[in-house]
Structure 1
Amino acid sequence: MEGADYEVLSVREQLFHERVRECIISTLLFATLYIFCHIALTHFKKPAEFTTVDEEDATVNKIALELCTFTLAVALGAVLLLPFSIISNEVLLSLPRNYYIQWLNGSLIHGLWNLVFLFSNLSLIFLMPFAYFFTESEGFAGSRKGVLARVYETVVMLMLLTLLVLGMVWVASAIVDNNKASRESLYDFWEYYLPYLYSCISFLGVLLLLVCTPLGLARMFSVTGKLLVKPRLLEDLEEQLHCSAFEEAALTRRICNPTSCWLPLDIELLHRQVLALQTQRVLLEKRRKASAWQRNLGYPLAMLCLLVLTGLSVLIVAIHILELLIDEAAMPRGMQGASLGQVSFSKLGSFGAVIQVVLIFYLMVSSVVGFYSSPLFRGLRPRWHDTAMTQIIGNCVCLLVLSSALPVFSRTLGLTRFDLLGDFGRFNWLGNFYIVFLYNAAFAGLTTLCLVKTFTAAVRAELIRAFGLDRLPLPVSGFPRVSKKTQHQ
């Protein structure tokens, strides 16, 4: 009996130590993400909103900033969670009995997925609405001014919003699945209501990724072209620098002596032209100073990598579409994967897992680029030391929606065979064949269309600039027509 009691006690101690170890690891990971996000938000916030004479407004903005930092840390954790799980599985496969990686197990990964799911719900449903209402509140009429009065008003507004959203979700559930069991299940707040609400939000995020990712994949070529030095293709940089300097000097003389010309001058337009010429001259000087390796090797390799990654993404999605038509197990909820560290999530082994991780990061960066490039969300783009508090809240909400939908997005497109762990996998619409099939087909079609259009337009524009056709008086496709007023000036 004593031996059996000792074994039970040792098992309990082992489980206790493992639980404590998982809590410490999760806390350290989240603390690292929180510090990184706090530093990032500090560089984008408006300093005037935190150094104002009104101490109450400054306190409210500081509290809202901490809530935004928490939300952004959760969003970053949701982005890193799927690649971290894939890499952990390959490490456990390669080193199954290594003492130094015993802390990396399925219990830890499963716990991290549940924590990210819980914190995502908490941030989307409570923290971010609270931060917005808190910054906009002034306290109820007749109450004493102060932070506490604004907290009371914010709590009341948040309760009313919760009731409104609860009613909308209940009505949506009754319309989609009209039976008594589904409606009664929503009364269980933690087990059914939050996962169902998060499923709706995640579905909206997946639709947003469907629009933003192809646009971002097309924009990645132009963004990379602005960051890198392009090769000299049939062009003379010295001649372009001299022409730019002469044009800038001529415009400067017109601005300094506006009475010397008998035609009326638009001084504001001349100032904009001078700024454009100065920017062009700086870029030309940067290209002239660049080394031959940077100029002739860096840009082509970067463009080739983008083209390969984009083409590989489309190829994987196309193969997944064929698998959906042939095998029902290719559905996001059709495959029940083994536990962590027993089988690889890629048919190519560790090499395929690395490709999956690279593609997931590439698509996430592309979706963010496409999100801020779209006309609807372009005004939400943060500015260095000039981003208002409400704009920071809006950015954090949008990034959290995009990042929370990334695991579902990757699994729906077949980029990874990793089954969603925790409550991320409790989405009913993942089992609908028509939704998944149409989503894959729409992504492949939109990405191919944007890629072909952008790539051919970029090549055509470079050839036009290389042969000097953009300086002709005749309008050239892809370049704006010069107005008569500008020609006279």
Structure 2
Amino acid sequence: MDETADIREQLFHNSVREYVIFLLFGLLLIILSSALIGRLRRRDKDDYDEDDAAVCKISVWLCTFSLAVSFGQVLLLPISIVSNEVLLNYPDSYYVKWLNSSLIQGFWNHMFLLSNLSLFVLLPFAFLFQESVGFSGFRRSLIARVIETSIVFTLMSFLVLGMTYILSSFLDEDRSSIQTLLSVWSYYLPFQYSCVSFLGVLMLVLCTPLGFVHLFTVVGDFLVKPQFLRDVDEEFAVARLEEDCLRRRLHLASETRGTYLLPPPMSPPAAAFAEGASLLGLQNGELQSGLAEALRRAEAHCRHLDQLRHTSSLQRNLVYPVAMVLLILLTFLTVMMVLQNIIVIVLGYGNKDLPFNTTQFKLGDSSLSMLGVFGSTLEIVLIFYLQVTSFVGLYTSRVFSRVRPRPRGTSLTHVIVNSALALVLSSALPLLSRILGITNFDLLGDFGQIEWLGNFKIIFLYNVLFAVFATVILLRGITAVILRELYARLHSLVSAVLGHKPPRQQSHSGASSPLPSPVVGKED
């Protein structure tokens, strides 16, 4: 009796400890997602009434919870890999006794359950709730909007379940019976999630190679590039003169309310004065608006050049090349691991290489990599790299570039759409990492029981599609960038050797050479 009581007491304490850890971890993710949504969401409507404000607040809460779930799914594999290595290297340590297989297994199960809840319930409800106005004939109130959203959501749920039943009957005729029709929780919801995960992995396969190329541009925008054969101080002085000239012209045009050039110039402006030519025919408000826009671009160009002037030589000449080398190395390692995984699958080492998990999980038995801790760390870095490149590739594509979030400029509808996209991609990340052979850690819980993960043809097709698409994108994108950079450097070198002044580089702000001097006069 005492042993039974001790076992029950130990199980109770273990359960309490696990739920406390899950609660603290969830609160941390919710705080992070709330800060991110607060940074992105646009607040430009001050005429909200109480009902609209309540609807907006509830929708934001639902998006915050869903985004926190997506963060948790991104951390599924990294936390599991770190836990396995910690238990393998410190099996008898008192400080890691709380870390066990039950905790990690529960983490995976909770993430699977919450991702289904967010994807099929919370986010659709938030979108419908935000768009609802209440049925006609009802008094406009929060309750009327809740009733409309609930009814529309119920009808949409029946429609989706009917389409799921039809699709499952085509794919698996043995399951198309009246008994399985009632198995919503045990069959149809996992089947819906498997379909969503299938599309999510396909999106990752297509978007990640695009992100490989575009990430170089994104990093280049944040880091200062080395300034070879370029006098930044001289460019800054010229830009300041242009800015002062535009500011004086704007002030003069505002004071006199005249035309830009009276009389017109003796000769038409050259091609270098294209921006000045666009302002020649403007008058009054149009002229002031055009000069203000040109002044804004000139000020942005001056700020950019001033940043280049005050950046240390170490940061210019070391940080940027190191970042580019790291990106190239990570991309090369990812593609090489995918090619190695294709070879392993083709050689046919058995179904154990497929992501479908049929074995009992035991944490801390063996290392996941032949390189030990270094190999596990590299796997974690590559997993995060895949996630970052997938989002970069997604938002640089033509289809999803319109919903790309912007700081303080993202509407609530776009916040909901981006939360759904983040949830789909993060749900597919563990599957993609296992499919491509980035990690050997088995998918736990219901993630490893998705049926199409045991299909050899689908897994092989995903690997081949990723390898081919990544190779083609990299060869086209990086080769074109290298050729352009080589041409620019050779052109600058030849101009410097021959003593010719190289053509001025077009600034990021769009400011060009100085405008012709105006003679502003009064209008008739």
TM-score > 0.5 by shorter chain: yes
The amino acid across from 1:313 in the alignment is T
Q: CA separation in 2, counterparts of 1:70 and 1:28?
A: 14
Partner Cα separation in structure 2 for residue 440 and residue 293 of structure 1: 40
Query: SS of the residue aligned with 2:173?
Result: coil
Unaligned runs of at least 5 residues, structure 1: 480-485
Determine the structure 2 residue equivalent to 1:324.
345
TM-fit CA distance, 1:44: 2.0
1:62-141 paired onto structure 2 within 5 Å: 62-141=57-136
**1:240-266: CA deviations, max 9, x gaps?**
334444555666677656124446446
- Do 2:133 and 2:145's aligned partners in 1 also have CA atoms closer than 8 Å? yes
1:307 aligns with 2:350: no
After superposition, residues 111-190 of structure 1 pair within 5 angstroms as: 111-180=106-175, 184-190=179-185
- The structural deviation recorded for 1:132 is 0.8
Q: Which runs of 5 or more residues in structure 2 are unaligned? A: 254-258, 269-279, 496-500, 509-514, 519-524
1:70-118 Cα shifts (integer Å, max 9, x gaps): 1011010001111001100100101111121111111011111111100
What aligned pairs does 1:30-429 form with structure 2 within 5 A after superposition?
30-49=26-45, 51-180=46-175, 184-248=179-243, 256=253, 258-260=260-262, 261-262=264-265, 264-265=280-281, 274-326=295-347, 327-328=349-350, 329-333=352-356, 336=359, 338-429=361-452
Return closer, same or farther for 1:282/1:462 CA change in 2, 3 Å cut-off.
farther
Cα distance change of structure 1 residues 91 and 376 upon mapping to structure 2, 3 Å threshold: same
Match of 2:272 in 1: none
- Conservation of the 8 A alpha-carbon contact between 1:318 and 1:444: yes
The range that moved more, 418-427 or 140-149, is 140-149
Q: Alpha-carbon deviations, 1:233-289, whole Å to 9, x = none?
A: 222223333444455566667765612444644656666555444333322221221
Q: Distance in 1 between matches of 2:295 and 2:464?
A: 47
Supply the distance in 1 between the matched residues of 2:76 and 2:217 (Cα, whole angstroms): 29
Shift of 1:395: 0.8
CA contact (8 A) 2:357 2:449 kept: no
Q: SS in structure 2 opposite 1:90?
A: helix
For residues 95 and 77 of structure 2, what CA distance do their matches in structure 1 show? 22
Q: Is the 8 A contact 1:335 1:419 kept in 2?
A: no
Tell me if structure 2 keeps the 8 A contact 1:195–1:426: no
State the partner residue of 2:273.
none
CA distance in 1 between counterparts of 2:178 and 2:488 reads: 63
Residue 278 of structure 1 aligns with an amino acid whose one-letter code is E
Query: How many residue pairs were aligned?
Result: 477
The 8 Å contact of residues 139 and 149 in structure 1, kept in 2 or not, is answered as yes
Which letter does structure 1 place at the counterpart of 2:222?
A: L
Matching residue within 4, 11, 15 for 1:15 = 11
TM-score (normalised: structure 2): 0.85
Structure 1 residue 446: Cα displacement? 1.9
Q: What amino acid is the match of 1:350?
A: V
Q: What percentage of aligned pairs have identical amino acids?
A: 44
- The reply on whether 1:453 has 2:476 as its aligned counterpart is yes
Alpha-carbon distance in 2 for matches of 1:371, 1:14: 47
More displaced 10-residue stretch of structure 1: 188-197 or 59-68: 188-197
Partner of 2:22: 26
Q: Say whether the 8 Å CA contact 2:108–2:444 is kept in structure 1.
A: yes
Partner SS, residue 17 of structure 2? helix
The residue matched to 2:40 in structure 1 has which SS? coil
Greater C-alpha Rg:
2
Contact (CA 8 Å) 1:337, 1:419: kept in 2 or not? Answer: no
Taking structure 1 as the reference length, the TM-score comes to 0.90
Q: Report the Cα offset of residue 224 of structure 1.
A: 0.8
